[in-house]
A and B are shown apart, each in its own frame.
Chain A
Amino acid sequence: MKDFHGIIFAYSASPELRELVSHRTAASMPIFGRYRVIDFALSSLMNAGIHDVGVIMQRDYQSLMDHVRNGKSWDMSRKDGGVRLLPPFGMPGYHSGNYFGTMEALNGVGDYIRDIPQKYVVLLLGSMCANLDLTAAGEQHIRSGLPITAICSDKTPAAPQHRYVPGPDGTVGRVLFYREGECEGYTSTEGYIIDKELLVKMMDECAARNLYRFHRDAIAEYLAKGGRMGIYLHKGYYMPIRSVDLYYRANRDMLDPDKRHDLFTPARPVRTRHHEGVSTYYGEDAVSINSLVGDNCRILGKIENCVLSTEVVVEEGACLKDCVIMRHTTIGAGAQLEYVIADKDCTLAPDTVLKGNEKLPLVIPKGSHI
């Protein structure tokens, strides 16, 4: 897909992700024991043969840069093009480096967007989990002849989201902003395929009138003026990572073989940065039930309904139920954990007892020593 350029918005972090995003963006959050959330956007682009990709960042992007690096893991380290990490201040004097909305973020890297040599631009959120078939979406976009196609999902995750209601011809009839719960139309993944020409026009119009929101300003106006928009419907797994609750649900979803096999379909492999490591060792008294476990762990205690990232140690007699444990965390002997999300590099002393709730998992911030 040589005619396509990817743009990933990796600057947002919903405040409802709380401690999990105190030093990183939602896009660089560790997830599913192995990945970072942005791997899904990057892999979707890679699997469609889209190698020229800009990643728009704002702040707290150190972990993101460390993860993406030169893009080699996604075959995006190229002689020409490849992945470009785009920090703010792309246009000095235009703004302070703080984006209030997507249009402002795009204008912040306006020169980069204007220089895109490709005809079409794929806009994706770095904070969504979906393995998108962008080859099919791109083909549909070209076939339709419409200047913009919304990438939608038939799932309705429990969060306020924009929805597109198709009209009689299948293109967008109406847009509904911030709807929660089952409702007509399809959930917007906030991913789009858009002709570059139209994107630049929207950016110029918004900049001239000091408007900064993509949906409320640019899209609403485009539709109000009679602009037409196609709908590409993604029928696979979809989860926006917008809150601790959705993050926890997404991890739990991967214990379901159907959802796991759907998201990690061999047809479109999800790639991530390679980590050195050994296989996971299970001890003589280990018990593991319905869990997803990364490499390089040592399981000597009991885990049930858990997602464990790499380099996690569960010492003898420790018991973990319904937990999500990130990389390089040690659970001391005899500790009892239920509904806990432990961030990276935590150490929990022996016999620690911590209990969250299914509706409100307990988050242990990165680097905690208890």
Chain B
Amino acid sequence: MKKSCIAMLLAGGQGSRLYALTQDVAKPSVPFGGKYRIIDFPLSNCANSGIDTVGVLTQYRPLKLNSYIGNGQPWDLDVSDGGVYILPPYLGAHEQGSWFSGTANAIYQNIAFIEMYDPDNVLILSGDHIYKMDYAEMLRVHLENEAACTIAVQQVSLAEATRMGIMSVDDRDFITEFEEKPKQPKSDLASMGIYIFNWKKLRAALIEDENDPNSSKDFGKNIIPKMLAAGERMLAYRFKGYWRDVGTITSLWDANMDMLSPELINLYDPSWPISSRSPVCPPHYVGTDAKIVHSIVTEGCEIYGSVENSVLSSSVKVGKGASVLYSVLMPGAVVEDGAVVEYAIVGENTVIGKGAHIGAAPDGTDGWGVATCGPDITIREGAVVPASAMIYNGEEV
């Protein structure tokens, strides 16, 4: 059946800037904000926007992501004509095909999938952003302006602009210039990595770009500048709500801390639910000597110690006399009796041994940063993991 718009979600990046947290899993399946994984946000936005066909492009460590997405039922995407599809790279006849060599190449390799739905437009999404957005409204603006491509943008500070893709626009918000990470930004409108393309035009651009040996097959670096140079109608769509890229340890930690302030982003909004596939656990238990202040706590947790300014995912255990401050504890993490975890991210099912000390409060030095323990690690009793440390599975600590 013909669709007005389908979504393609780029989930194939290495996520190398999350280091130990993406050692074994793709970035979109990294837990976030207590109940969620990062991919819940774009998938829920799709479902809430009435986009019922989503292709998820994966290539690195996709096992957890695949089993997490399953048939898409938690996001109401288990529909008969459409639904959510995992699209790994594959070989065709004569062993033609390859790993995705760039974001544009990933879509190029899935032209056949997109054509099955014969869409008028294709929405391109990233798997590492936290935000609530009505893509239907963006599509309406895209169609109203007969744009070839509409790019969601957000106002940023000029300092941030030097690290992002920056658009200059005319008085009707049509894009006049696009610069990737400019040293001297001419505008403060940054691309959010969310694009709606007229499919016929994108298809032509992808095929042309694929044949360009000098192209790095990337939307930001190649496709968008080329379409702009060709004089296509490229529109900026201003988005004012909460939006965070969580591609680095610091930004992931920051965005988790934002979840303690519902005025920034309200996840409990019945008109725009963010859904997740979560195991059914009993309610969390708070012990007799426990203390929980300015924190979020999820089902299945057992708290006997002290938790302040922290985000606890499901089934986290905090032992007696243990202390968790300004930290993010992913599902199944265990902080044994007397251990201290501060300014840290602790991965899934990682055990912090008795009396161990993870991370440190900011000391004003440049070297300070959030300490990170990847998933499925055991930190020995009494071990000390300093600020900024990055502990991988397989290391002895």
Q: Is the CB of A307 within 8 A of B283?
A: yes
Contacts of B302 in A (CB 8 A): 257
Nearest CB to that of A306 among chain B residues?
B286
Contact of B38 with A by CB under 8 A? no
Q: Is the CB of A290 within 8 A of B288?
A: yes
**Binary contact track B281-319/A, C-beta < 8 Å → 1, others 0:** 111111110111111111100100001000111000000
Q: Is the CB of B268 within 8 A of A278?
A: yes
Given A274-B278, A290-B286, A291-B285, also A280-B293 (CB < 8 A): no
Could you tell me the distance between the alpha carbons of A33 and B283 in the complex, rounded to whole angstroms?
Answer: 6
Shortest CB distance A259–B (Å): 11
Shortest CB distance B70–A (Å): 13
Contact of B35 with A by CB under 8 A? yes
| From A283, A286, A293, contact of B284 by CB (8 A) | A293
Contacts of A286 in B (CB 8 A): 292-293
Could you tell me the distance between the alpha carbons of A289 and B285 in the complex, rounded to whole angstroms?
Answer: 9
Given A32-B282, A294-B283, A294-B299, also A279-B34 (CB < 8 A): yes
Q: Is the CB of B35 within 8 A of A277?
A: yes
Contacts of B287 in A (CB 8 A): 289-290
Could you tell me the distance between the alpha carbons of A260 and B284 in the complex, rounded to whole angstroms?
Answer: 11
Contacts of A291 in B (CB 8 A): 285-286
| From B74, B281, B284, B291, contact of A280 by CB (8 A) | B284
Shortest CB distance A224–B (Å): 43
| From A32, A33, A260, A295, contact of B35 by CB (8 A) | A295
Shortest CB distance A35–B (Å): 8
Could you tell me the distance between the alpha carbons of A287 and B33 in the complex, rounded to whole angstroms?
Answer: 22
**Binary contact track B348-375/A, C-beta < 8 Å → 1, others 0:** 0000000000000000000000000000
Contacts of B297 in A (CB 8 A): 279-280, 282, 293
Shortest CB distance A344–B (Å): 16
Could you tell me the distance between the alpha carbons of A299 and B307 in the complex, rounded to whole angstroms?
Answer: 14
Q: Is the CB of B283 within 8 A of A276?
A: no
Contact of B262 with A by CB under 8 A? yes
Contact of B327 with A by CB under 8 A? no
Contact of A76 with B by CB under 8 A? no
Nearest CB to that of A279 among chain B residues?
B34
Nearest CB to that of A296 among chain B residues?
B268
Contact of A132 with B by CB under 8 A? no
Chain A at the B interface: SS class: loop
| From A281, A290, A299, A308, contact of B283 by CB (8 A) | A308
Contacting chain B: which of A136-144, A264-272, A360-368? A264-272
Contacts of B169 in A (CB 8 A): none
Q: Total interface residues on B, using CB and 8 Å?
A: 37
Contact of A254 with B by CB under 8 A? yes
Contact of B280 with A by CB under 8 A? yes
Could you tell me the distance between the alpha carbons of A281 and B288 in the complex, rounded to whole angstroms?
Answer: 19
Contact-size category for A = 35 or more
Contact of B136 with A by CB under 8 A? no
Nearest CB to that of B312 among chain A residues?
A279
Could you tell me the distance between the alpha carbons of A4 and B57 in the complex, rounded to whole angstroms?
Answer: 43
Contacts of B262 in A (CB 8 A): 281
Shortest CB distance B76–A (Å): 11
Could you tell me the distance between the alpha carbons of A276 and B292 in the complex, rounded to whole angstroms?
Answer: 23
Q: Is the CB of A276 within 8 A of B273?
A: yes
Contact of B260 with A by CB under 8 A? yes
Q: Is the CB of A279 within 8 A of B280?
A: no
Contacts of A7 in B (CB 8 A): none
Given A271-B280, A289-B290, also A279-B298 (CB < 8 A): yes
Contact of A34 with B by CB under 8 A? yes
Could you tell me the distance between the alpha carbons of A43 and B354 in the complex, rounded to whole angstroms?
Answer: 35
Shortest CB distance B242–A (Å): 14
Contact of A318 with B by CB under 8 A? no
Q: Is the CB of A34 within 8 A of B267?
A: no
| From B267, B286, B298, contact of A289 by CB (8 A) | B286
Q: Is the CB of B294 within 8 A of A260?
A: no
Given A276-B273, A292-B285, A295-B283, also A282-B292 (CB < 8 A): yes
**Binary contact track A231-250/B, C-beta < 8 Å → 1, others 0:** 00000000000000000000
Contact of A58 with B by CB under 8 A? no
Contacts of A307 in B (CB 8 A): 283
Contact of B29 with A by CB under 8 A? no
> What 7 A-B pairs are tightest by C-beta distance, nearest first?
A279-B34, A33-B283, A279-B296, A279-B298, A294-B283, A282-B292, A288-B286
Where the two chains meet, the residues of A that have a C-beta atom closer than 8 Å to any C-beta of B are 32-34, 73, 254-255, 257, 260, 264, 269-272, 274, 276-296, 299, 307-309
22 example contacts (A-B, Cβ-Cβ < 8 A) are as follows A34-B280, A260-B285, A271-B280, A272-B280, A274-B280, A277-B268, A278-B267, A279-B312, A281-B296, A282-B307, A283-B293, A284-B293, A285-B293, A288-B286, A289-B288, A290-B288, A292-B282, A293-B284, A293-B286, A307-B283, A308-B283, A309-B283
Besides A260-B282, A274-B278, A293-B285, 12 more A-B contacts (Cβ < 8 Å) are: A73-B280, A257-B285, A260-B285, A271-B280, A279-B33, A279-B34, A279-B313, A283-B293, A286-B292, A290-B287, A294-B283, A294-B299
